[in-house]
Chain A
């Protein structure tokens, strides 16, 4: 079955810097890759997603890139702000629809 690895587990950046989180997946049939943000004590919320027919997608300060050949995808946050501090999860879904999550990255943005 699908396995998703996420790195780093923790990431600390200065406000205004960029943050990059990377994930790899194992199932070449996976075709949908969402990213979720989870603040402490709250539910995960989708921030951006990408499908396998697209290599890159951007939404304001957030971008995701996908390399199908290497089976990895990355989240890029530019001009980080303290409110970006949270745990971020990547996930991969195959044609069957099952979503498998990575272990999470705790991002801390220092003012």
Chain B
């Protein structure tokens, strides 16, 4: 079947604006992860869902960041009042369960100008 799909692939937004990034996981995968990757760095953990609930949101940097997964499938990462420091590639991954192979999407490159 299809892999993890993220939309949009690129997003340019003005400082202060609101953005939504979408992740379509592999069908049947209960675990979903959001990461942020800056150039030359490893993926930085943001939030992890098991089903519909956030099992761990300790990586969200502040209250401008929020993520939902209302039906246990598609997830949306929401960033309010964007700042230039939010510019990065946002990666989504899904897996059948915890501690199994996580498959990554191609990422959304967010640029805040």
Interface residues of A (CB under 8 A from B): 1, 6, 31-32, 34, 36, 42-46, 49, 51, 89, 93, 95-104
- Pairs A–B under 8 Å by Cβ, sample size 22: A1-B58, A32-B99, A34-B101, A36-B104, A42-B106, A43-B104, A43-B105, A43-B106, A43-B107, A46-B102, A95-B98, A96-B48, A96-B55, A96-B98, A97-B31, A97-B50, A98-B33, A98-B48, A99-B45, A101-B42, A101-B45, A102-B42
A-B pair number, CB within 8 angstroms: 64
Shortest Cβ distance from residue A106 to the other chain B in the assembled complex, whole angstroms: 8
Shortest Cβ distance from residue A37 to the other chain B in the assembled complex, whole angstroms: 11
Number of contact residues on B: which range applies? 20 to 34
Partner of A98, one of B42, B56, B97, B107: B56
